[in-house]
Amino acid sequence: MRRKLIAGNWKMYGDRAHLAELDAIAEAARANPGIDVLVCPPSVLIAPALARQPGLAIGAQNCHDAPEGPYTGSVSAAMLRECGATHVIVGHSERRAAQHETDAKVRAKSKSAIAAGMVALVCVGETEAERRAGEAEDIVTGQIFGSVTKYAQPDTVIVSYEPVWAIGSGLTPSIEEVRSMHATIRAALCSKLGEAIGSAIRILYGGSVSAANASELLAIENVDGALVGRASLTAAQFVPIIEAAAAI
Ligand code: 13P
């Protein structure tokens, strides 16, 4: 039985005043104990977020793959864990594109996150050109084999399928495209990690998730939750997504 997870990725948005949004989000998390809720604010807001809402799960958006070292401007998974973060997003397409993060780098970051006692939320997804070329499922399968560590367990790794072209665009794949891709990811996880582990790892969908489409997306087989960008920035938009997940 895979519990649904509704995770918010605030990206590089928000400030201390914005943490007031967490009050109603934490309230919704408490009111819906059958699902998991996570918010990933910018790393400097992790500790203040937990000071405001100590019961809410707070995650980071990236970590370095080394435990420490001469890497100016970077933070390690252990540092994030010490701040109170329990999860860390790795391999988001915005970082794969802008910071040239490879599958090997993403895998190293998830290993480092697990070693620090965190859950790695590993993102995969094809570009618009790859989907148009009919390569989406092959590309994503390759990303699963390359980015997910062979040490992955259901309580240390979560996968998020985020088609690059659906992020921030208001576009989403069709229900059938999501169903098919999540089945493909499930098969890749089972092939890589064995049936027991592969079938228990959660697979989220991300990309233009909103209160309007959440119920439909979250009801699809093998969609175990959502990774929400823009609509996670306000409780007014995020809480209905939490409630939609809880209602399934
Ligand atoms: P949007 O929900 O804003 O499309 O962003 C999705 C995303 O990138 C979450 O990680």
Q: Which CATH number is 156's domain given?
A: 3.20.20.70
195-224 mean pLDDT: 98
Residue type, 241: I
Percent of the chain, pLDDT > 90?
A: 100
Please give the share of the chain, as a percent, with pLDDT higher than 70. 100
| Mean pLDDT, residues 67-96 | 98
Burial class (CB in 10 A: 0-12, 13-18, 19+), 48: middle
Tell me the catalytic residues: 92, 162
Å from CA of 43 to ligand 1 middle: 17
pLDDT value, residue 186: 98
pTM higher than 0.95 = yes
Ligand 1 atom 1, closest CA: 229
Q: What CA–CA distance (Å, rounded) separates 50 from 246?
A: 23
Ligand 1: nearest atom to the Cα of 227: 9
Binned at pLDDT 50, 70 and 90, residue 1 comes out as confident
Burial class of residue 215 (count of CB atoms within 10 Å of its CB; 0-12, 13-18, 19+): middle
CA of 37 to the centre of ligand 1 (A): 16
Domain count, the chain: 1
The overall average pLDDT reported for the chain is 98
Nearest Cα to Cα of residue 132 among 94, 164, 162: 164
For residue 71, give its domain range. 5-246
Tell me what pLDDT residue 233 has.
98
Q: Which atom of ligand 1 is nearest to the CA of 228?
A: 2
Average pLDDT, integer, range 217-246: 98
Does ligand 1 lie within 6 Å of residue 11's CB atom?
A: no
Residue 105 per-residue DSSP state: H
